[in-house]
Chain A
Amino acid sequence: MAEDRIAVYFCHCGSNIAGKVDVDKVVAWAAEQPNVAIAREYKYMCSDPGQDLIKEDIQQHGINRVVVAACSPTMHEPTFRKAAAAAGLNPYLLQMANVREHCSWVTVDKGEATEKAKRILNAQIHRLPFNEALDPIEVPVNPAVLVVGGGIAGIEAALKLAATGKKVYLVEKNPSIGGHMAMFDKTFPTLDCAACILTPKMSAAGKDPNIELMAYSEVVEVDGYVGNFKVKVKKKARFVNTDTCTGCAACLETCVVRKVPSEFDQGLGKRSAIYIPFPQAVPLRATIDAEKCLTLKGKKCKQPCVTSCGPGAIDFEQKDELVELEVGAIIMATGFELWDPGQDARYGYGRLDNVITSLEFERISNASGPTNGEIVCKNGEPPKSVAILHCIGSRDLNYQEHCSRVCCMYSLKFSHLIKEHLPDTEVYELYIDMRCFGKGYEEFYRRLMDEGVHMVRGRAAEVTDLAMSPEEEGRLIVKTEDTLLGIVRRIPADMVILSSGLAPAKDAKAVSQTFGFGCSGDGFFLERHPKLEPVSTITDGIFIAGCCQYPKDIPDTVAQAGAAAAGALALVDNPTVKVEPTISYIDPEKCAGCHICVGLCPHVAIRYNEELKVAEVITAACKGCGVCVAACGSNVPQQHGYLDNQIFAEIEGAMAF
């Protein structure tokens, strides 16, 4: 074997590293280390001239191992490995020493940072002689894409992908796609009718030959890896044959169970046990609510739905169906939930009449909603005064620290709609800060100030019905500190709208676990990089779009959906994808066939060969966790890239001084 000739490159990263680490000192020290042939420093190693240094040294100075001390390998390891490969060096003979994120940025003292940088670097210098040349594993890519969630994000991503000719499976857990946006009346700041802009897209998604719409379905299991996911989808029984149902809605009128609170109307309206959630539903098919239907509950019913159904689509025997899909990429667009204001008793939600959530107001103000668009209180009377309370469950350390980003704007929209319907009604906006950051948003805010809305700067402290004066009698009173006036105010109102924040879906954590990526501290899906990869997850091949990642408005959601579609397309448009070769292997000459690793592999990538009496790694299924290596009593499975002697050498290097 040729002698190890290591080149060390120490990046200044401008002043990001050099401002804290004495680069000259470390480089001088590195040059003296065993096996180190060259030690250099450079201002920006990731720049072209920086990468050229590596290439030249490999080609002209016989360098056969490289360590780049710079930022996190998550950032630039691919950059430098590509440079090494371009110069003819196997990319896996290059290691990075993370002296920025793990050292210069987190250390106060310059001397300490310099010492730590040396130790981090030395671990890699010791490791490199044990590195093996590896070749990335190339696996075929399935060109189909799964989109999970049929709100505006999922619809947009599915349409974009379908337009490129890719097969798309669009899975939605509810009977219809459309998501939250379908419930809205108008959209800020342009006041387009939400249905007018959304329903054409819904309809297009339902008709597109490349999109297989799987509504009323849920993903139950995900296996596989980038380019080759195997997904099990449960198609919930609708008890209606969707092939023959025409969506005529005749059955809805005949059903004897008529007082089921409508989910779509936020419980303000009623639906029957057999229902179509809203007239523009896609697919326009009826669904029987098994928990409400008398027949399905085993009670007596004359089954008027059956008699009223011309095509005979009702099928009480229908069962849930498990469908297996094979896709190359997945886009998660599972959306959000409105933060439940019932969690904070001070706001009176669920206790006081006419304290409603923003989503309930969306339905009330919607022409096709439970009040046909009439803004009225529970008693049917229009309110004389409405208070809109911002930041309910947002920007609140007791509940959610984050800003939900859309509440200021939709609250302003509500003010406008109220003023439009009821010009004489007093409207109060109780806000902490007005966050009107988008295109046309600030302008919309100014417009509202001219519409006679009372802007009160202060978070609402309490909503009560305890009157303290005759004029408060029989009304709701919002208590707040008006921080601009410096006084405590009691604002009488007939209707209080709680501008609830956006919360992660209750099952977000479980869903992220099913798909194998994580959630951030706020409970939303975790993106791979907050700035550079906001639509990717840590799992290759799985992308995120819309409010499942973080609260955002419709324009941002649509933009992110497009980006996620582009990310997925960039993957599935290739016949193959390269995956990291850091997987396990088993030497059959050493395996005693004890079976310990066989049962432990999380990805069932180890099988027992009955003929040879040894365990074998299924290369395509191994994801490289190394659990088998650690569990084997005789270290027979080893993991490329994380060999025991490589880890031991890192320990020795880190502890050498």
Chain B
Amino acid sequence: MSTNGSNGFEPRLIGFLCRWCSYNGADLAGTSRLKYPPNMVPIKTNCSGRIDATHILKALKEGADGVLIAGCHPGDCHYINGNYRTAGRFPLTQKLLEQLGLEHGRVRLEWVSAAEGDKFARVVTEFTEQIRALGPLGWSAQFVDESVAAPAAEKEAVPA
């Protein structure tokens, strides 16, 4: 869809944004007319603490090449310490994903406050370029029908 990809690959990204800080930070990037790549679709929850590993895995399974979680800075959480839970889940999720063969940078956690429109734009830009450099993930595409009956040439993706 784009012309700016050096390798012609446009990453498809999901960004989970908490409503109070990061979503508003993204809004501020908009009202400030900052420009960043169009690759990430934001999904809003009240708190980043609502997002568990299931949502990240689901996004990857549905074809996301990378997943961003953005929440309030520690101490700024609208729910006191909801983002502390995010902070705990994230590295363990990352460790799991690395064990499953994903590169370290496929998922990313950032604290973006409602005042940090510039940081939001920078994070999305960086993350898009980071995933572009890693290349497509295409998780579901790797599930080919291995039945011996199907000749190799006709192997198809199995709907997961």
Contacts and interface: CB of A to CB of B under 8 A. Distances in A.
Given A103-B38, A112-B2, A627-B47, A648 B52 contact: no
A146 interface: no
B79 A602 contact: yes
Interface string B67-80: 00000110111111
B76 A119 contact: no
A377 to B, nearest CB: 43
Contacts of A112: 1-2, 37-38
B123 interface: no
B34 A648 contact: no
B58 A648 contact: yes
Contacts of A582: 46
Contacts of A116: 38, 41
For chain B, the bracket of interface size reads: 35 or more
Interface stretch (A162-170, A458-466, A649-657): A649-657
A627 B87 CA distance: 12
Residue picked from B27, B37, B58, most chain A C-beta under 10 Å: B27
Nearest to A75: B27
B38 A509 contact: no
Nearest to A626: B50
A521 B49 contact: no
A120 B51 contact: no
B18 to A, nearest CB: 9
B115 A642 contact: no
Given A105-B30, A109-B2, A654 B38 contact: no
Interface in A477-536: 509, 512-513, 516-521, 526
Contact of B121 (A106, A603, A631): A106
Contacts of A603: 79-80
A97 to B, nearest CB: 10
Contacts of B82: 602, 625-627
A123 B50 CA distance: 18
Contacts of B14: 651, 654-655
Nearest to A521: B115
A258 interface: no
B20 to A, nearest CB: 5
B9 interface: no
A236 interface: no
A602 B72 CA distance: 15
B114 A526 contact: yes
Given A106-B29, A106-B33, A116-B41, A518 B55 contact: no
B24 interface: yes
B35 A108 contact: yes
Given A603-B79, A627-B82, A642 B45 contact: yes
A388 interface: no
A36 interface: no
Nearest to B73: A518
A599 B64 CA distance: 34
A647 B45 contact: yes
B104 interface: no
Nearest to B21: A518
B79 A623 contact: yes
B152 to A, nearest CB: 29
Contacts of B63: 655
A457 interface: no
A626 B86 CA distance: 11
B43 interface: yes
Interface string A528-555: 0000000000110000000000000000
A655 B54 CA distance: 16
Interface in A11-50: none
Q: Which 6 A-B pairs have the closest CB atoms?
A: A101-B30, A626-B50, A625-B79, A520-B115, A630-B52, A654-B41
16 contacts: A101-B29, A101-B30, A102-B26, A106-B33, A108-B35, A109-B2, A113-B38, A120-B42, A516-B80, A518-B113, A518-B115, A538-B78, A629-B52, A651-B55, A651-B64, A655-B14
Interface of A: 72-74, 98, 100-103, 105-109, 111-113, 115-116, 119-120, 123, 509, 512-513, 516-521, 526, 538-539, 582, 600, 602-603, 623-627, 629-631, 639, 642, 644, 647-648, 650-652, 654-655
Given A102-B27, A518-B21, A639-B46, 13 more contacts: A100-B30, A106-B33, A108-B35, A112-B37, A116-B41, A517-B78, A520-B113, A521-B113, A526-B115, A626-B47, A627-B82, A642-B46, A647-B55
